[in-house]
Amino acid sequence: MRDNVKGGALTEVTFYILLSLYTPKHGYAVMQFIEEKTGGRLSLGAGTLYGALNSLQEKEWIKPCGDCEGRKKEYIITSLGKEVAEKELVRLEELVGVASGMGETVRNSGG
């Protein structure tokens, strides 16, 4: 994953995964959350999702929670992961604010 920890941008998928894990979820529930919230625009395969979950665990942005004995391992966002998600939200709000202020200019500059 190409997430920039220092200044900035998370991939869209990473951001959605972090948002989904503010409450504990297993992988399939994370996939459903993302598909539902994006109206089907983003749909993750199992390999992509589990690769991302492993990467996020290595970064300590998420962790397994509860009884991991069964097949469905649940994950939850960590305090570090929340910090990262909140910084991304601020970055996106700033981006939207700038774009909104230029809305008329942007809309009317099409070719």
**CATH code at position 18:** 1.10.10.10
Q: Let me know if residue 81 belongs to a domain.
A: yes
pTM: 0.82
Q: Nearest-CA neighbor of 77 among 96, 91, 95, 59?
A: 59
Q: Let me know if residue 108 belongs to a domain.
A: no
How many structural domains does the chain have?
A: 1
User: Which domain covers residue 58, as residue numbers?
Assistant: 12-103
Q: Nearest-CA neighbor of 30 among 10, 1, 52?
A: 52
**The pLDDT of residue 78:** 98
Residue 26 is inside which H or E element, if any?
A: strand 25-26
Burial of 23 (0-12, 13-18, 19+ CB in 10 A): exposed
Q: Let me know if residue 6 belongs to a domain.
A: no
Q: Let me know if residue 58 belongs to a domain.
A: yes
Percent of the chain with pLDDT over 90: 68
Mean pLDDT is lowest, of 6-10, 16-20, 78-82, 91-95, for: 6-10
Burial of 56 (0-12, 13-18, 19+ CB in 10 A): buried
